[in-house]
Amino acid sequence: MPSFTRPSADQPPRERLLNAATALFCQRGINAVGVDAIVEQAGTAKTTLYKLFGSKEQLVEEVLTREGEIWRDWFTTATAKAGGSSRDRLLAIFPVLAQWFRQKQFYGCPFINAVAEHDKSSDRLRELALKHKRQVLDYIRALSADAGVADPERLTHEIALLMDGAIVAAMITKDPGVAGVAQNALTRMLDAELRT
């Protein structure tokens, strides 16, 4: 399950900076966190951050790229453990998300949060978010097609909307139970698709 790794002295400076930035960005927001706070938590010099990443913006991109990889690996592994059939894996999506929502360090989706707090005319972070989203959609689309639904593309986008809505609702309300509401909707959708 995705969780933050705290910076420690035995980690290389790059890893300490990534871990510190991840925790701070997710909890406080990217714009609210300055370079000074990151290097203080990482226990490194400011020059080390600039030498390794070039800028705060590049550090943000590296944090998001790494967090996306970690999250997708966790999500696909956790849903795969739900059972052998693609239908079982689809039905595992919201119970798996509920585990994430119950974490003390759940602050929502880093990609949704990053796009929400940045200039809407800039595509830099939006492209990173879309790249992550496309990979999640590809996974769900493959499960939907393998489950034998009539329109895998439509179901994929419906599930993605339910996921995004549940993630935002859980972040705002701090209620992991929203995953159950989304689960009920998915079960009805999937039953209807498989009946047709």
- The mean pLDDT of the chain is 93
The answer to whether 109 and 37 have CB atoms below 8 angstroms apart is no
Does residue 107 carry a pLDDT above 80? yes
Q: What mean pLDDT is predicted for residues 131-159?
A: 96
Give residue limits of the domains in the chain.
Answer: 57-195
Distance CA 14, CA 159 (A): 36
Please count the CA atoms within 13 angstroms of the CA of 49 that sit on its side-chain side. Answer: 26
Instruction: Spell out where 81-159 has E strands.
Output: none
The answer to whether 190 and 89 have CB atoms below 8 angstroms apart is no
Tokens, residue 12: 């290389």
CB atoms within 10 A of CB 126: 15
Confidence of residue 4 (pLDDT cuts 50, 70, 90): low
Identify the pLDDT of residue 3. Answer: 65
Q: How far is CA 186 from the centre of its chain?
A: 20
CB atoms within 10 A of CB 70: 15
Confidence of residue 1 (pLDDT cuts 50, 70, 90): low
Q: What mean pLDDT is predicted for residues 148-159?
A: 95
CB atoms within 10 A of CB 174: 11
Give the helix ranges, DSSP H, for the chain.
Answer: 13-28, 35-42, 46-53, 56-80, 86-91, 93-101, 110-117, 124-147, 152-173, 178-195
Identify the pLDDT of residue 7. Answer: 66
Q: What CATH code is assigned to 57-195?
A: 1.10.357.10
Identify the pLDDT of residue 68. Answer: 97
The answer to whether 79 and 93 have CB atoms below 8 angstroms apart is yes
The answer to whether 167 and 112 have CB atoms below 8 angstroms apart is yes
pLDDT tens string 33-70: 999 999 999 999 999 999 999 999 999 999 999 999 99
Q: What mean pLDDT is predicted for residues 108-135?
A: 93
DSSP 8-state symbol, 102: T
CB atoms within 10 A of CB 79: 23
Distance CA 3, CA 1 (A): 6
pLDDT tens string 66-101: 999 999 999 999 999 988 899 999 999 999 999 999
Q: 140 vs 70, 76, 134, 167, 173, CA distance in Å?
A: 17, 9, 10, 16, 26
